[in-house]
Amino acid sequence: MSEPILTIVVPCYNEEEMLPYTVVELKGLIDEMVREGEISRQSKILFVDDGSKDDTWKMIYKETIKNEYVRGLKLARNVGHQNALLAGLFTAKDMSDCIISIDADLQDDIAVIKEFVRKFKEGYDIVYGVRNKRETDTFFKRSTAQVFYKMMKVMGVDLVYNHADFRLMSKRAVEKLERFKETNMFLRGVVPLIGFTTTSVYYDRKERLAGTTKYPLKKMLSFAFDGITSFSIQPIRFVLFVGLASFFGSLVFALYFLSLKIFGDTELGWTSLITSIWLIGGLQLIAVGLVGEYIGKIYKEVKHRPKYIIDIDAFNVPMSIHKSESDKEFSLEHRALLESN
Ligand code: UDP
Ligand code: MG
C-alpha cells in the first residue's frame, strides 16, 4: 500500500487564541510524517469553523492560502461540536484514506497520531484515543465526566471509557457512519455501533493552552442529557417504574388511612393530603416531561433537517477558486482577504 492520505479534522468555535499554536503544531506533525514517508503529501488539516463570532475563520482562511496542507470549511452557523465534526468527517472522506478528529485546543496529545496511523496500516478501521489520566482537568470536570460514563453504563450505552472525540476512522468507516441518519448524532455512542476491527491508543491529556473551554456547565449538561436520551430508553422505563411504585405505595397508604378512619381515629391531617398531592403531581410532571423529551427527539428525527450547512470550502486557494454554496456567500470580505495575501 502506498502512503495513506490522512486528513486531520479540527472543529473550531471561537478559537482565535488557540489557532496559531494549533496550526503550527499540526503543520509540523504533517510535515514530519510526510518526510518520514508515513503519509501521503496530499494529507490535509481540515479546520471546520463552527460559526465562530471572532476571527477564527479569517485565520483559517489565511492559512489555506499560505499552506498547501490546510483546508478550511466554514459552516453557515454554529451547529455544535458534534455536527461540526460530522461536517469535517464527511467532507474529508472523499479525499482521504483515513481521518483523525481532534479538538482545536490540542488537549489530546498529537504525538499519538503517528501511532493511530500505524494502527490503521495494520488494518484497524477505527482507532480510539483513550486518556490515561485526567489530572490536568479540573476536579469538577473530572468528576462530572466520571458520573457521565457511569450513568451511560447503567443506561446500557456502550462507550469507550475515557475516550472523547480523538480518534482515527478509515474512509470506509466514515462512509458507514454517513448511513446513520439520526439527527441527534452522539458520535461516541454511534461509532462503536459501526463495528469493524477497532483498537485503542493511550495518551495523557494536557491542559488547554489558550482560550477558554467552549463547554460551560450548561452545554455539558445538555450534552450528557442528549447522550443519554438519544441512546437509551432506560429513563422512561425508570419513570414507569417509579410511577408504578408510587401507585402501589399510595394504595398501602390509602388502606392505612382507611383503617385509621374505621378504628375511630379520624383526626387525619391536611398535611398528609397535601403532601401526597404534591408528590404525585411532581411524579406526573417528571414522567410527562421525560416522555416529552423523547417525543421531542422523535420530532427532530422525522424532520430530517440537515445537520450542518457548508458556507465555504476553502481548498487549494488560490490555485482554484473554491466553490461556495452560492456565489453570493463568497463575499467581498473573503475576496479582499485573498487579495491582501
Ligand atoms: N466546538 C465547536 N462548536 C461548539 C463548541 C465547541 O466546534 O459549539 C469545538 C471547540 O472549538 C473545540 C472542541 O469543539 O475544538 C471541544 O471544545 P472544548 O475544548 O471547549 O471542550 P472541552 O475540551 O472543554 O470539553
Ligand atoms: Mg478541550
191-218 pLDDT, tens per residue? 998 989 999 999 987 777 777 777 777 8
Does any ligand 1 atom lie closer than 6 A to the CB of residue 12? yes
Q: Which three cell numbers stand for residue 270?
A: 391536611
pLDDT at residue 29, as a whole number: 95
Residue 31 reports pLDDT greater than 60: yes
Instruction: Compute the distance from residue 12 Cα to the ligand 2 centre, in Å.
Output: 11
Instruction: Compute the distance from residue 282 Cα to the ligand 2 centre, in Å.
Output: 37
Mean pLDDT of 4-31: 94
Mean pLDDT of 97-120: 94
Does any ligand 1 atom lie closer than 6 A to the CB of residue 51? no
Mean pLDDT of 56-70: 91
pLDDT at residue 37, as a whole number: 93
Average pLDDT of the chain? 84
Residue 79 reports pLDDT greater than 60: yes
Q: Which three cell numbers stand for residue 68?
A: 498547501
pLDDT at residue 4, as a whole number: 94
Instruction: Compute the distance from residue 15 Cα to the ligand 1 centre, in Å.
Output: 9
pLDDT at residue 175, as a whole number: 94
What percentage of the chain exceeds 90 in pLDDT?
A: 40
* 163-170 and 126-131 beta bridge pairing: antiparallel
Question: Cα-flanking dihedrals φ and ψ of residue 319, to 5°?
Answer: -55, -45
pLDDT at residue 155, as a whole number: 77
Does any ligand 1 atom lie closer than 6 A to the CB of residue 4? no
Mean pLDDT of 79-91: 94
Q: Which residues pair with 170 in a beta bridge?
A: 98
Instruction: Compute the distance from residue 339 Cα to the ligand 1 centre, in Å.
Output: 31
Does any ligand 1 atom lie closer than 6 A to the CB of residue 205? no
Residue nearest to atom 19 of ligand 1 (CA): 213
Does any ligand 1 atom lie closer than 6 A to the CB of residue 80? yes
Mean pLDDT of 23-43: 94
pLDDT digits (tens, 9 = 90+) for 287-315: 888 888 888 888 777 877 788 888 888 87
State which of 28-37, 197-206, 222-231 shows the largest mean pLDDT: 28-37
Mean pLDDT of 260-277: 72
Mean pLDDT of 252-274: 74
From residue 104, give the alpha-carbon distance in Å to each of 2, 7, 101, 208.
29, 14, 10, 9
Instruction: Compute the distance from residue 105 Cα to the ligand 2 centre, in Å.
Output: 5
State which of 46-50, 226-230, 300-304 shows the largest mean pLDDT: 46-50
CA distance 101 to 93: 12
The three-state DSSP-derived secondary structure of the chain is: CCCCCEEEEEEECCCCCCHHHHHHHHHHHHHHHHHCCCCCCCCEEEEEECCCCCCHHHHHHHHHHHCCCEEEEEECCCCCHHHHHHHHHHHHHHHCCEEEECCCCCCCCHHHHHHHHHHHHHCCCEEEEEECCCCCCCHHHHHHHHHHHHHHHHCCCCCCCCEEEEEEEEHHHHHHHCCCCCCCCCHHHHHHHHCCCEEEEEECCCCCCCCCCCCCHHHHHHHHHHHHHCCCCHHHHHHHHHHHHHHHHHHHHHHHHHHHHHCCCCCCCHHHHHHHHHHHHHHHHHHHHHHHHHHHHHHHHHHCCCCCCEEEEECCCCCCCCCECCHHHCCHHHHHHHHCC
Does any ligand 1 atom lie closer than 6 A to the CB of residue 13? yes
Q: Which residues pair with 314 in a beta bridge?
A: 72
Q: Which three cell numbers stand for residue 312?
A: 465555504
Instruction: Compute the distance from residue 19 Cα to the ligand 1 centre, in Å.
Output: 12
pLDDT digits (tens, 9 = 90+) for 230-249: 777 778 778 888 888 888 88
Does any ligand 1 atom lie closer than 6 A to the CB of residue 88? no
HSE on the CB side for 83, CA within 13 Å? 20
pLDDT at residue 73, as a whole number: 94
Q: Answer yes or no: are the C-beta atoms of 329 and 311 closer than 8 Å.
A: yes
CA distance 23 to 171: 24
Does any ligand 1 atom lie closer than 6 A to the CB of residue 214? yes
Per the model's pLDDT, the better-predicted residue between 275 and 340 turns out to be: 275
Mean pLDDT of 180-191: 86
pLDDT at residue 136, as a whole number: 66
pLDDT at residue 41, as a whole number: 93
pLDDT at residue 77, as a whole number: 93
What atom in ligand 1 is closest to the CA of residue 11?
7
What atom in ligand 1 is closest to the CA of residue 80?
8
